[in-house]
Amino acid sequence: METLVDGLSFPEAPRFRAGRLYYSDFYRHVVESVDASGRRQVEAEVAAQPSGLGWLPDGRLLIV
């Protein structure tokens, strides 16, 4: 087993899409993605605590 990403506060709702792992970090108020090499990218910063996520039929990210 290999660690892909560390330093997360409270990750939730992991989803794979287009070769990336997406997750919400509840206490940091962000949705991030990470690729197979471990490169992280902030996809969205939100005022509330994000938990669930998904995609609308047109491809837009949905955060709840």
| Pairing of the two strands 53-55 and 40-45 | unpaired
List residues bridging with 25 in a β-sheet: 11, 30
List residues bridging with 41 in a β-sheet: 33
Total residue length of the chain: 64
- Taking only the tens of pLDDT, the chain with its 64 residues reads 888 888 889 999 999 999 999 999 999 999 999 999 999 999 999 999 999 999 999 999 999 9
Instruction: Compute the distance between CA of residue 18 and CA of residue 27 in angstroms, rounded to an integer.
Output: 26
Global pTM?
0.89
Q: What share of the chain is helix, strand, coil (3-state, %, to 5)?
A: 0, 45, 55
